[in-house]
Structure 1
Amino acid sequence: MANSPYKKVTHCIFDMDGLLLDTEKLYTEVFNQITNAYGKQFTWEIKAKIMGFKILDSACAIVDMLELPISPQQFQEQSLQLYKIFFPKAELMPGAEKLLYHLKENNVPIALATSSSVDSYELKTVKWKELFDLFHHRVIGGSDPDVQKGKPHPDIFLVAKNRFPDKPDSSMCLVFEDAPNGVQAGIEAGMQVVMVPDPCLPSHLTEKATLVLKSLEDFKPEQFGLPPYKN
Structure 2
Amino acid sequence: RDLGLAAALGHAVLDVSSRPRVAILATGDELALPGKEAGPDQIFASNSFAIAAAVAGEGGLPLDLGIAPDEPAAIRAAIERAISEKADILVTLGGASVGDHDLIRPALEACGVTLDFWKIAMRPGKPMMAGRRGGMLALGLPGNPVSALVCSVLFLIPALRRLTGCADVAPQIRRGRLGRDMPPNDHREDYVRAALSHDADGVPVATAFPRQDSSMLRALSEAECLLVRPVGAGPARTGDPCEILLLPPPL
- TM superposition score normalised by structure 2: 0.33
More helix by share: 1
- Higher RCO (Cα < 8 Å, 6 or more apart): 1
Q: Which of structures 1 and 2 has the bigger CA Rg?
A: 2
More strand by share: 2
